[in-house]
Amino acid sequence: MTTRPLILVTNDDGIYAPGLFALQQAMSAIGDARVVAPDSERSAAGHAITIADPLRVWEYEKNGGFFGHAVNGTPADCVKIGVKAILKQKPDLVVSGINQGPNTAINVIYSGTVSAATEGTLMGIPSIAFSITTFRKTDFSFAAKFAKYLAEKVLREGLPNGTLLNVNIPSLPPEEIKGVKITRQGRARYEEFFEKRVDPMNRSYYWLSGKKMMLDSDGDVDDVAITDSYIAITPLQFDLTDYKSFDNLKQWNIGIPDGQSSDT
Amino acid sequence: MTTRPLILVTNDDGIYAPGLFALQQAMSAIGDARVVAPDSERSAAGHAITIADPLRVWEYEKNGGFFGHAVNGTPADCVKIGVKAILKQKPDLVVSGINQGPNTAINVIYSGTVSAATEGTLMGIPSIAFSITTFRKTDFSFAAKFAKYLAEKVLREGLPNGTLLNVNIPSLPPEEIKGVKITRQGRARYEEFFEKRVDPMNRSYYWLSGKKMMLDSDGDVDDVAITDSYIAITPLQFDLTDYKSFDNLKQWNIGIPDGQSSDT
């Protein structure tokens, strides 16, 4: 590569998040890193996009200088508007994160961090989502170092059309991390409930609460690899068709009501 | 079935939407239909859930009687809180819609309508998303009739664990609908741009705009089936792992920076 690669950096924890700063710093070491990130936390935003409201863009300063553009939208919005209206050209790479908390198993489908990388992939740009597997205040330096290493590899090798990488890095001292595993999205999910509370105006409200239940034990499952002190890299794609059910459903002979093959 | 099935009815166009009313009426003909729906439009909400804010629930009346519960949340929130805090039992079926506008191809991943059915499936409940393929004011009666027919079939046959149905019904006179096709999620996507405008306070804002580009021609693709005047039923699942890329990625020999197999 003769010119420095152009890298779009975003997240779902918002433009103030330390994980975003760590990722921007790491990407600046290998390319022209441009931040376009949500103006507030958008965790669990799923693959939401803003179509019924206008988007606004602000310039955000940090440490006395321009840091990046803040958008009143979702992570997927940030990638769309970043590419189309801010950069006005296709970057060589989209990176999202470093998210505070794992994006593994069922969290993948709720994840704003992953959705930003999905959006990049949809636009034909190699894209990677990075998460560190703790919700506590943490040191991002090893995760940022790994992000730089993997980003360089992806810039060099490319990614297959329609494939993104979802990377989860254990929150451990670097010397305790055993290596990297290529993993699949696990089946772990939440046993959830709603806490009903009463506000100072005597109106009731609900908070979602829940406990994660592991349902896998194979070493190539994202959560298991992390528990085993490995970095988990799961390749993702976005054709949700359940091809396994195709033949079964065809045998249902679904007709149209009042039509010949109907049974109502 | 000796008792009437319990059916949770939701959508992403909001509790006021005529498509929700049509679906509630259709489900009431075959079971105990309970509405739990967003208090405002949540189109393109993706699989967002609300974790950082409290959820509130209102009783909403229609035509002089109780119609259902409105929630200040996303479609996925409505299913979670509907099952866990409102019904307080697992319904026999979750139905979502009838959405105004197609949920085909790439729209599947942005769709709040689909995400509600995904959430139901995650909770182990057979779930179906229904959409009518027009954004204009339309007659929902045929779509509602088909929803009733298919819901009865699913209540009778069940669905495989982890599979949901995404149903798109052409906005055509019933006699012009040729039948039903089991389809796959197409690759059609949007060529998008942002219109930059200036508000009355002289501040700029952006609207997302775009044109759908068809990239498939096979008859078993969702959008193609609809263009051919068929109802498209796509079975969906939510393991996003790209198994095709597994072996390729393993050959990258990704190490950890400063580690033995690293190349930085």
pLDDT digits (tens, 9 = 90+) for A110-155: 999 999 999 999 999 999 999 999 999 999 999 999 999 999 999 9
Interface predicted TM-score of the whole assembly (ipTM), two decimals? 0.91
pLDDT digits (tens, 9 = 90+) for A177-211: 999 999 999 999 888 899 999 999 899 999 998 89
pLDDT digits (tens, 9 = 90+) for B107-122: 999 999 999 999 999 9
Q: Considering only CB atoms, which chain B residues are within 8 Å of A51?
A: 43-44, 208
pLDDT digits (tens, 9 = 90+) for A165-182: 999 999 999 999 999 999
pLDDT for the residue numbered A261: 43
pTM summary value? 0.93
pLDDT for the residue numbered B85: 95
DSSP class of residue A108?
H
* CATH hierarchy code of domain B6-187+217-250: 3.40.1210.10
Chain B residue at shortest CA distance from A178: B256
Name which of B174, B179, B264 is nearest A255 (Cβ-Cβ): B179
B28 to chain A, closest Cα gap in Å: 16
Residue A258 has pLDDT above 90, yes or no: no
Architecture category of domain A6-186+217-245 in CATH: 3-Layer(aba) Sandwich (3.40)
- The type of residue at A151 is A
pLDDT digits (tens, 9 = 90+) for B147-157: 999 999 999 99
A-interface mutation test, from B13, B86, B109, B140, most A Cβ less than 10 A away: B109
pLDDT digits (tens, 9 = 90+) for A27-71: 999 999 999 999 998 888 888 888 888 999 999 999 999 999 999
**CA-based torsion, B77, B82, B86, B88: positive or negative:** negative
- SS3 (DSSP) at A125: coil
pLDDT digits (tens, 9 = 90+) for A89-102: 999 999 999 999 99
A216 to chain B, closest Cα gap in Å: 14
Contact assessment for residue A66 and residue A97, using Cβ atoms and an 8 Å cutoff: no
Chain B residue at shortest CA distance from A82: B194
- Average pLDDT (B127-141) is 95
Q: For chain B, which residues make up each domain, given as ranges? A: 6-187+217-250
B44 to chain A, closest Cα gap in Å: 5
Q: Considering only CB atoms, which chain B residues are within 8 Å of A107?
A: none
A-interface mutation test, from B72, B195, B207, B208, most A Cβ less than 10 A away: B208
3-state secondary structure chain B: CCCCCEEEEECCCCCCCHHHHHHHHHHHCCCEEEEEEECCCCCCCCCCCCCCCCECEEEEEECCEEEEEEECCCHHHHHHHHHHHHHCCCCCEEEEEEEECCCCCCHHHHCHHHHHHHHHHHCCCCEEEEEECCCCCCCCHHHHHHHHHHHHHHHHHCCCCCCEEEEEECCCCHHHCCEEEECECCCCEEEEEEEEEECCCCCEEEEEEEEEECCCCCCCEHHHHHHCCEEEEEEECCCCECHHHHHHHHCCCCCCCCCCCCCC
pLDDT for the residue numbered A44: 83
Stated length of chain A: 264
Q: Considering only CB atoms, which chain A residues are within 8 Å of B145?
A: 257-258
Q: Considering only CB atoms, which chain B residues are within 8 Å of A177?
A: 256
- The type of residue at B112 is G
